[in-house]
Structure 1
Amino acid sequence: MKKSSVYLFLILANLFWAGNYVFGKYVVAEMPPLQLTFTRWLIAAVLLFPLAQIIEKPNWKTVWKEWRILLILSILGIVGYNFLLYEALRFTTSLNAAIVNSMNPALIVLFSALFLKESMTRINGLGLVISLLGVLLVLTKGQLQQLFQLDYNQGDLIMLAVILVWTLYSIIGRKIRHIPPISATAASVLIALGLLLPFVLTADLNYSFSSQALTGIIYIGIFPSVGSFIFWNISINHIGASKAAIYLNLLTVFTAIISILTGNSITFPQILGGLLVFIGIYLSSHHGTKIKAKG
């Protein structure tokens, strides 16, 4: 696969995930995180298995032989990440959540170097720093001192668990590179639904939601659940978790763009921040002097 296609997949994955933050905030106000997590993956499963069969034509016996790793990936990336994210959005603002999430690329790069022995270059490191600075400029509108003035609450602490879970998911996902990514995602989703079903059946289902929330559920079930996970898993299989991680900074930029489209104004620091993110991503995709992983 061409690198340009991989980078396009990473951009689309984060664009869809940005929508998940926006719609998730609305839906979780009307639907509990557990039910939302189950519903989105039920919708996704209906799409993932036919897509896997049509596009990849996998040997399902080979896929299910990796059930142990698939189970771990289900607990981390399918159940844990999404449930914790929606739980965090109940208590914190999108701004706080996005700022905490911007730590994710650095954490993935660090874990990749420590556990996967993936090398990084000085230019890659510079790109990471520039992108992180760009994200912070976008989120704070150029007022970086706001980082020290935010009221970190329970939701912010849950977001720390969110980024740790996603880091582990990305690292462990490399262990099944021989499994087609759509098939692996579909199998993980099916396992996750089995894990969630007993809790959903015993939960209080006496609630209703608006047409806006229904639209949000459908969006979340298709684009972030199917599109983002497929694009992300394909990408990390081709370029590695540490190089793909830098693109997670786009999530916050796209969130800012969506905010603008919904009527909010844009400032020069936000524009500058967006440019820095893209410059950082450009630098991260180039080679330079390697920094060897310790250990």
Structure 2
Amino acid sequence: MLAFSTSTWGSAFVAGRFATESFDPVTVAFLRFFFAAIILVPLMYILEKDRPRPSLKDWGLFALLGLTGIAIYNIAFFTAAKYAPIAKSSLFIASNPVLIILLSGLFLKETITGRNIAGLVLALTGAVIIITNGDILAAARHGLEPIDFVLLFAVVCWALYSVLGKVALRKFSSLVCTTWAVVFGTVMLFPFALLETSWTQVAEADWGVWTAILHMSIIVTVVSFLMYYQGIKIIGAAKASLFINLMPVSAVILAVVFLDEPLLWAHLAGALFVLTGVTIGTYTRPLWLNRKNKAARS
């Protein structure tokens, strides 16, 4: 379940490229979460009958989740999916977990260990290699491209969403938090999507575009979400988080296969740094120590 759900997240980059051929990024983001909300709201009412009643402060927190993780992040995500190479954007976004740890330490006073710092340094090194295509000196001379700042903005927004989500999860389940975040984010995206999209565009969009949008709504957002959190219940969040490393791998493979994107040595080198950094920075207990303790108990 964990391997399938996290690999499916990588397919969102390719599906986003197809969808943004007919619609602007804001419209794609709105359509994705509009269809997801139609599924998530009934699911929440069926599966979470004993959920706590949100206070006014809780509604404000849900609105912030919708703003950072659904509205702003996905505008940046689909903008990157349209204009940036998928290998570049997916591998750069893969550095998210260590930034989440850093922000959790700053704002939630969670402990930051030496392993977290080492992971952050490795992941950011990989991100720099990826975003400069391995030519750091040339990037320093000529500056970064505008899409690079969009990618950086997306990473920061998702990290903020994750930290805010930790606060919300102290009272509500993951399904409740995600559902209300999707609802608020969809409402925020609606007026902008209405302004930039005409009914002619909707009518002229082919089946491939709608398939990509429904794939992101149903499989990537709803099914993968349920499977991922079921996996967390079974093996725990620490081990489950390691499967997120499959996301950029699947995104790169799908981009090479379906979009004929080139795979540069800088992508491979950067991916090695990012995945190593994320693994070191988020894995809380060494496997060999678990085996040693298990053997001692036996």
Task: Sort the TM-score into its range (normalised by shorter chain).
Answer: 0.7 to 0.9
- 1:61–1:95 CA distance, 2 compared to 1 (3 A): same
- Match of residue 226 from structure 1: 222
Equivalent residues of 2:17, 2:81 under 8 A apart: yes
Determine the C-alpha separation between the residues in 2 that align with 1:63 and 1:212: 42
- 1:250 paired with 2:239, answer no
- 1:185 paired with 2:178, answer yes
- 1:44 paired with 2:36, answer yes
Query: What secondary structure sits across from 2:43 in the alignment?
Result: helix
Which letter maps to 1:46?
I
Please, which of 72, 77, 82 is the counterpart of residue 80 of structure 1? Answer: 72
- 1:109 paired with 2:105, answer no
Q: Name stretches of at least 5 consecutive residues in structure 1 with no aligned partner.
A: 1-7, 289-295
- 1:203 paired with 2:192, answer no
- 1:88–1:148 CA distance, 2 compared to 1 (3 A): farther
The offset of 1:214, in angstroms, is 1.6
Equivalent residues of 2:98, 2:281 under 8 A apart: no
- Match of residue 145 from structure 1: 134
Which letter maps to 1:87?
T
Equivalent residues of 2:16, 2:82 under 8 A apart: no
Determine the C-alpha separation between the residues in 2 that align with 1:91 and 1:260: 16
- 1:277 paired with 2:269, answer no
- 1:126–1:264 CA distance, 2 compared to 1 (3 A): same
The offset of 1:163, in angstroms, is 0.6
Determine the C-alpha separation between the residues in 2 that align with 1:184 and 1:21: 24
Greater displacement, 250-259 / 126-135:
126-135
The offset of 1:100, in angstroms, is 3.1
Deviations 1:67-125 (A, max 9, x none): 01000001111111111111233332223323432442332221122122222444455
Deviations 1:155-192 (A, max 9, x none): 22111111110010000111111211112211222222
Equivalent residues of 1:27, 1:213 under 8 A apart: yes
The offset of 1:194, in angstroms, is 2.3
The offset of 1:131, in angstroms, is 6.6
Determine the C-alpha separation between the residues in 2 that align with 1:144 and 1:89: 17
- 1:130–1:25 CA distance, 2 compared to 1 (3 A): same
- Match of residue 292 from structure 2: none
Percent of residue pairs bearing the same amino acid type: 24
Equivalent residues of 1:91, 1:153 under 8 A apart: no
Equivalent residues of 2:5, 2:225 under 8 A apart: yes
Give the TM-score of the pair, scaled to structure 2. Answer: 0.73
- Match of residue 212 from structure 2: 216
- 1:272–1:170 CA distance, 2 compared to 1 (3 A): closer
Q: Name stretches of at least 5 consecutive residues in structure 2 with no aligned partner.
A: 287-298
Deviations 1:43-74 (A, max 9, x none): 10121122223333243633776101000001
Which letter maps to 2:45?
Q
Greater displacement, 197-206 / 105-114:
197-206
Determine the C-alpha separation between the residues in 1 that align with 2:242 and 2:145: 26
Q: CA RMSD in A?
A: 4.0
Determine the C-alpha separation between the residues in 1 that align with 2:6 and 2:124: 15
Query: What secondary structure sits across from 2:253 in the alignment?
Result: helix
Give the TM-score of the pair, scaled to structure 1. Answer: 0.74
Greater displacement, 271-280 / 86-95:
271-280
- Match of residue 293 from structure 1: none
Which letter maps to 2:283?
S
Equivalent residues of 1:131, 1:246 under 8 A apart: no
